[in-house]
Structure 1
Amino acid sequence: MVNGEVAALLARSHRLGSDPRNTNYAGGNASAKGAEADPVTGGDVELMWVKGSGGDLGTLTEDGLAVLRLDRLRALVDVYPGVEREDEMVAAFDYCLHGKGGAAPSIDTAMHALVDAAHVDHLHPDSGIALACAADGEKLTAECFGDTVVWVPWRRPGFRLGLDIAAVKEANPQAVGCVLGGHGITAWGDTSEECERNSLHIIRTAERFLTERGRPEPFGPVVDGYEALPEEERRVRAAALAPFVRAIASQDRPQVGHFDDSGTVLDFLARAGHPRLAALGTSCPDHFLRTKVRPLVLDLPPSAPLDEAVTRLEELHADYRREYAAYYERHAEPDSPAMRGADPAIVLVPGVGMFSFGKDKQTARVAGEFYLNAINVMRGAEAVSRYAPIEESEKFRIEYWALEEAKLRRMPPPKPLATRVALVTGAGSGIGKAIARRLTAEGACVVVADVNAENAALVAEELGGPDKAVAVTVDVTDEEQVATAFEEAVLAFGGVDLVVNNAGISLSKPLLETTAEDWDLQHAVMARGSFLVSREAARVMTAQRLGGDIVYIASKNAVFAGPDNIAYAAAKADQAHQVRLLAAELGEHGIRVNGVNPDGVVRGSGIFAGGWGARRAAVYGVPEEKLGEFYAQRTLLKREVLPEHVANAVFALTGGDLTHTTGLHVPVDAGVAAAFLR
């Protein structure tokens, strides 16, 4: 049974965390203090429950709470070694845990423990940070709140900040909270309801103050020529730029991308003040840890020719890397962690939008959301004052904090296909669906491409939704639809690294019954379709300069001559030779092209379910429900082939162990001697 204080804390956290005006994703924390029976002595013990490291308020569960003994936490005041050694206090929190302790305590644990209030919220609302990052934030805070909310000068999160806030509360019994310079807000209350009410009071009052006091165009006037392109034109331009932008964001290590062309971004980039403000960087630690100290900003209007924009992005990227390395050298100490990489996490393109990057789609999306928060903060600060983020040296101290480095090292190792974006055709059912499922399980972001929109959408949802998979509707015989599918893919994930040509159709007929339409249809889907898809894939992959994989799901019939199968087998043979041709042509770009030759995949196969199974069963003189068994018995291994076995082969070719293999066809047929490759 959940403790009453814990239940109230979780409910409050969910309400606060579900509204982006209150705090950003995984930003801030909340706590509650109360008594609970000690499981050993049975006597009451005073405890504190606080959101653990890395959790998110909006989705917080009881397992995400750190549970600590208050007496031991408060005793740490007597052994606090001072600011220079305060990182040691984080390790001390482990000795304050109650029972199994729950989640790992965060750096903000001291703030919650030392403030003399039963309930404490620490949040990162845009309105609060706008005051916190204004040049005269202390004066504005007093004007906004009087003496009910107190200013606390910037200090890096830690034990000393907890002591500072506790002292402020003790010295100001009338106060309901404080604004933390350069950082956010903290509020408190005797009950969960009072604490939440005080948090919302600070946030909403700051919002009204900024609105009522603010000047109408804090970012300055719109610059002629920098207005947002019309939506359709804007997204076409974004899709054309995306692979090149991903290339510059992935020089140190491959990244997944996210695109945002919301009105907030486009208006900021159209205004005269955006170059100055972007160069100042973000301020709140939660912001710049995800966005880096500043973004890369293209300094050309959206009307600039694409090749000119790409060339300029490359020049700006070289400058960005040099400046970031210089920033590291300016502030690094002998014991600082090594530089983690000098590529931007945020790339801003006037008239088009924002590209954000991370180790996976969620990280990339959240980085973009944090930069949106930063734009809102800049707007608020500029509306009533001047945006003045914390000093660069302080940003470095947090970005290359030993505690932050330790947190990164605790992260689980990436899956084999992490950061890779896969597009699978015919992924709405059968073999394609199994491939999409396997690639997602191995860490890839997957574009589920299928002519059947409903099937594609269902599969994408099953795979985990837009942070894992997106659905695109495409008839692979249609050149324009194929190009559009790749545009949607690069806008969803930044680019494409792995393409599986799986879409297929089959009609089993003797030669004299095979019509020209039968022939044309099968060649259109498999031969022409694979060509169109591979051509678009090559365009994206060469622009990204990250290499890539193209895999053809061909067939045993590509090399085996069987009866009543002229159109299908000939189309599969075409696909098989495309593998060889493209492997020879694309190798110089690091793009590997391989094939898989399945046979007898009856169960779960869309082709067999569509009538092919009945026709093949008739050819071989067996009941359709026995066809899988029939195929298995004619193999060397006497095993039935399933869609998952084909998916396994695709992963084997693309998962990282066969880095020097291209132009290969892998049979997945349980052993058909007549189809051995010669």
Structure 2
Amino acid sequence: MSSTTTLSFKHVSYLWDEAKAAELAGDEVALLVYRSNLLGADLRLTNYGGGNTSCKAMAKDPLTGEETEVMWVKGSGGDLASMKRNGLAALYVNRLRSLKNIYRGIEHEDEMVELFNHCIYDLASKAPSIDTPLHGFLPFKHIDHLHPDAAIAIAAAKDGKKITQELFSGTIGWVEWQKPGFDLGLQLKQCLDENPGIRGIMLGSHGLFTWGDTAYESYINTLEVIERCAEYLADNVGKTKPVFGGEKIQSLAKEERLQKAAALAPVLRGFCSGADIAATEGKGVSKTMVGHFTDDDRVLQFINSNDLDRLAPLGTSCPDHFLRTKISPLVLNLGKEEDLSDVAAVKEKLAPLFVAYRNMYTEYYETCKHPNSPAIRDANPVVILYPGVGMFTFAKDKQTARVAAEFYINAINVMRGAEAVSEYTSLPRQEAFNIEYWLLEEAKLQRMPKPKALSGKIALVTGSAGGIGMSIAKKFADEGACVIINDNDAGRLETAKATFTKEYGKDVFDTAILDVTKQDDIKKAFDVAALSFGGVDIVVNCAGLSISKPIEEHTAADWDLLYDVLVKGQFLVTQAGVEVLRKQATGGDVLNIVSKNALVSGPNNAGYGSAKAAQLHLSRLNAAELGKDKIRVNTVNPDAVIGNSKIWEGAWAEGRAKAYGIKVEELPAFYAKRTLLNEIIHAEDIANACFAFVGGLLHKSTGNVLNVDGGVATAFVR
């Protein structure tokens, strides 16, 4: 069965493993979780966090000991692809259905959600979602509610109902658009009663309901219906008329697109973070957005088309799409060949676009709001389209920005399909507002965890594949920042990448090969920051090396290497970072990891010590110059940080031990004993000092030196 079934599907993935399912036989809830994970694994079937699935089975009532019917359904939040049993809500079916006896009508929809709690079977289960009654009133043992692009394209088409009727010969019902809730559940049941024997129901502008008596039957039914929708679209897209009205402009070449995007992303990030508004009001930016860029072929086909100007303002149809992409995208008026090097001119051209978008969004809010609506939220766009180049999305964190891009690609797929078979229709603005500013959605937002101290921040820490740099990067990531991990050693960087992937996942970091003496490397690293996250907020100059030799053994090559890496490297990285920070106009931080040797004279240390002194004074000079840009420059002075640092590999440790007349293994204790606190200094101590500067409590401090050396009196600044 599996081999022939696999071959029969072209537009969806058949993933059912009969052996795996056999292991779960008899446990309907386990089979529900298994089916849900398979459906969530294919983004053509549903999008991240979207859709819900359920099963009904008999279970023992803990109060009476009698068998009773229970429904397990995906709870509020979560994602089908990763959902586990604890992501389900379990409710008594008879209690849930009895709620219709006290239902007071559609104007009292929201009060029903509280009443779901009186129907809960498993007190440890997930909170029931608003879609719970949509599953509860249908009699089927297994039900799938998904948002596949192929089905929504038909559901959002002007002739969607007629197409559905003809395509499935009446075996798929139709329910017109309505906000999810108790009444929609009653409408699904009514549709089934009026059309006995149907295999599913299409929800106008919304999605698809399908079912079966077993987990497998529901799975196959779902795949078959979506396959038929996708096949119908494939037979029509581009056949009778050009896709999106045909190509209006051609894309730039890949490398040029990425260069344009990297140059523009920090400027857009500044606008989306409200930097222009803050400057006008004489205030600092209260929060910074994180960005995502994609030049996916589907995006390029849409943004380069003749129909872009007609379709983009319409917005999306499916509530899941809309909630993450806002009422409509902002289309840039920059030509693909635009010179972006004159940042002031670019900002002058973009400013009216953002003002117009904010005014549009404010008017939308004021026109559609209800007396009890939540206050207006951020009026800046989430999705920004640059014809010939690609799509930017900005949100509170990387995952939200990335998912917004994925959802807008879903919306593009829907528009392409609907336009091929009919005419695309979006949600009416009032309906869209009712979803976006739904009190239940607001309550969900209010329950979200408080942002961490560095949420929305992006940090580039040089030399962060190990030692002090890695500790700083990890500390920032732990506190909510996105980080650019880099090193001049490709092998070391790969190891660090594996570590960060395991500990933080793909939305927290990106990597770049970076030799701080090479301007090309530096530019590419900041381009990675711009393309991956939208820009940078924190630049940490941590990359370094040490050479300890008596003056007579110290070569000119040693001297040049120290000054190139420590002093010139700090200068070049700061210079490139400041360029990005100024584009954003949101302020920022430059932290320089220097050394107590910048202040203390010691033997066999002429090159290293004097280079560190140059680093320290360069920090002061930069602080004096960059204050007008709200860019803070501060210094952390460590001493004798031994763990996992390249500095302590090879000759340096031997050189210091020789200088002090001790053995290499005695160095940690030697350094600790000479401090006032008698403490060994660890990389994490330096990371904590860096966080102290950027965590928000010292945002009015610049030009400072913070010693993290256990207390070396001769290194006191004053």
* TM-score of the pair, normalised by structure 2: 0.93
Shift of the alpha carbon at 1:99? Answer: 2.9
| 2:544 is the alignment partner of 1:540 | no
What's 2:701 paired with? 661
Quote the Cα distance in structure 2 between the aligned partners of 1:515 and 1:422. 35
Quote the Cα distance in structure 1 between the aligned partners of 2:156 and 2:652. 67
Quote the Cα distance in structure 1 between the aligned partners of 2:581 and 2:61. 60
Quote the Cα distance in structure 2 between the aligned partners of 1:453 and 1:408. 41
Equivalent of 1:57 in 70, 76, 80: 80
Equivalent of 1:87 in 110, 113, 126: 110
What's 2:166 paired with? 143
| 2:666 is the alignment partner of 1:626 | yes
Asked if the contact 1:428–1:455 (Cα under 8 Å) also holds between the matched residues in 2, the reply is yes
Q: Deviations over 1:127-161 (max 9, x none)?
A: 11101111111111112111111111000010111
Quote the Cα distance in structure 1 between the aligned partners of 2:690 and 2:338. 41
SS at match of 2:649: helix
SS at match of 1:408: helix
Shift of the alpha carbon at 1:174? Answer: 1.9
Quote the Cα distance in structure 2 between the aligned partners of 1:201 and 1:603. 58
In structure 2, relative to structure 1, the CA distance for the partners of 1:114 and 1:611 (3 Å cut) is farther
Shift of the alpha carbon at 1:309? Answer: 4.8
| 2:258 is the alignment partner of 1:218 | no
Aligned residue identity for 1:376: N
What's 1:236 paired with? 259
Shift of the alpha carbon at 1:621? Answer: 1.8
| 2:389 is the alignment partner of 1:355 | no
Q: Deviations over 1:608-638 (max 9, x none)?
A: 1243112211211222122111100000000
| 2:684 is the alignment partner of 1:644 | yes
Shift of the alpha carbon at 1:657? Answer: 0.7
Quote the Cα distance in structure 1 between the aligned partners of 2:375 and 2:495. 44
Aligned residue identity for 1:232: E
Equivalent of 1:269 in 286, 303, 312: 303
What's 2:125 paired with? 102
| 1:233-632 pair list within 5 angstroms | 233-251=256-274, 253-306=287-340, 307=342, 309-463=346-500, 464-632=504-672
Quote the Cα distance in structure 2 between the aligned partners of 1:287 and 1:602. 50
SS at match of 1:59: coil
Quote the Cα distance in structure 1 between the aligned partners of 2:347 and 2:420. 34
Shift of the alpha carbon at 1:454? Answer: 2.6
Shift of the alpha carbon at 1:466? Answer: 2.4
Asked if the contact 1:594–1:665 (Cα under 8 Å) also holds between the matched residues in 2, the reply is yes
Asked if the contact 1:453–1:471 (Cα under 8 Å) also holds between the matched residues in 2, the reply is no
Shift of the alpha carbon at 1:652? Answer: 0.5
Quote the Cα distance in structure 2 between the aligned partners of 1:38 and 1:451. 63
Quote the Cα distance in structure 2 between the aligned partners of 1:222 and 1:56. 36
SS at match of 2:570: helix
SS at match of 2:139: coil
Shift of the alpha carbon at 1:372? Answer: 0.3
Aligned residue identity for 2:253: P
What's 2:176 paired with? 153
What's 1:119 paired with? 142
Asked if the contact 1:111–1:165 (Cα under 8 Å) also holds between the matched residues in 2, the reply is yes
CA RMSD, Structure 1 to Structure 2 (Å):
1.3
Asked if the contact 1:265–1:353 (Cα under 8 Å) also holds between the matched residues in 2, the reply is yes
Aligned residue identity for 2:424: Y
Quote the Cα distance in structure 1 between the aligned partners of 2:575 and 2:599. 24
Asked if the contact 2:292–2:534 (Cα under 8 Å) also holds between the matched residues in 1, the reply is yes
What's 1:199 paired with? 222
In structure 2, relative to structure 1, the CA distance for the partners of 1:142 and 1:312 (3 Å cut) is farther
Between the two proteins, the alignment pairs up a number of residues equal to 676
SS at match of 2:68: strand
Asked if the contact 2:287–2:456 (Cα under 8 Å) also holds between the matched residues in 1, the reply is no
Shift of the alpha carbon at 1:218? Answer: 2.8
Asked if the contact 2:210–2:221 (Cα under 8 Å) also holds between the matched residues in 1, the reply is yes
Deviates more, 1:299-308 or 1:556-565: 299-308
Shift of the alpha carbon at 1:415? Answer: 0.5
Q: Deviations over 1:43-71 (max 9, x none)?
A: 32221111111110011111111111112
Identity %: 50
Asked if the contact 2:510–2:528 (Cα under 8 Å) also holds between the matched residues in 1, the reply is no
Quote the Cα distance in structure 2 between the aligned partners of 1:365 and 1:318. 24
Deviates more, 1:90-99 or 1:467-476: 90-99
Shift of the alpha carbon at 1:432? Answer: 0.5
Task: Note the residue ranges of structure 1 that are not aligned, 5 or more in a row.
Answer: none
| 1:153-192 pair list within 5 angstroms | 153-192=176-215
Deviates more, 1:87-96 or 1:165-174: 165-174
SS at match of 2:55: strand
Aligned residue identity for 1:167: Q
Aligned residue identity for 1:620: Y
SS at match of 1:27: coil
Deviates more, 1:273-282 or 1:193-202: 193-202
SS at match of 1:179: strand
Aligned residue identity for 1:12: R
Aligned residue identity for 1:264: R
Quote the Cα distance in structure 2 between the aligned partners of 1:612 and 1:349. 51
Shift of the alpha carbon at 1:310? Answer: 4.1
Quote the Cα distance in structure 2 between the aligned partners of 1:631 and 1:475. 30
* TM-score of the pair, normalised by structure 1: 0.98
SS at match of 2:562: helix
Quote the Cα distance in structure 1 between the aligned partners of 2:245 and 2:622. 52
Quote the Cα distance in structure 2 between the aligned partners of 1:270 and 1:537. 32
Asked if the contact 1:604–1:642 (Cα under 8 Å) also holds between the matched residues in 2, the reply is no
Aligned residue identity for 1:228: S
Q: Deviations over 1:109-136 (max 9, x none)?
A: 1101111111111100001110111111
Shift of the alpha carbon at 1:456? Answer: 2.2
Quote the Cα distance in structure 1 between the aligned partners of 2:663 and 2:87. 55
In structure 2, relative to structure 1, the CA distance for the partners of 1:628 and 1:52 (3 Å cut) is same
Quote the Cα distance in structure 1 between the aligned partners of 2:129 and 2:98. 18
Aligned residue identity for 1:409: Q
Quote the Cα distance in structure 2 between the aligned partners of 1:508 and 1:6. 66
Q: Deviations over 1:570-605 (max 9, x none)?
A: 111111112111111111111111010000111222
Quote the Cα distance in structure 1 between the aligned partners of 2:649 and 2:125. 50
Aligned residue identity for 1:145: F
Asked if the contact 1:298–1:312 (Cα under 8 Å) also holds between the matched residues in 2, the reply is no
What's 1:12 paired with? 35
What's 1:34 paired with? 57
Q: Deviations over 1:393-437 (max 9, x none)?
A: 000000000000000000010000000000010111110011111
Aligned residue identity for 1:291: T
Aligned residue identity for 1:164: Q
Task: Note the residue ranges of structure 2 that are not aligned, 5 or more in a row.
Answer: 1-22, 275-285
Asked if the contact 1:147–1:174 (Cα under 8 Å) also holds between the matched residues in 2, the reply is no
Aligned residue identity for 2:591: V
Quote the Cα distance in structure 2 between the aligned partners of 1:530 and 1:396. 49
Shift of the alpha carbon at 1:40? Answer: 4.2
Asked if the contact 1:111–1:163 (Cα under 8 Å) also holds between the matched residues in 2, the reply is yes
Equivalent of 1:47 in 39, 51, 70: 70
Aligned residue identity for 1:356: T
SS at match of 1:58: coil
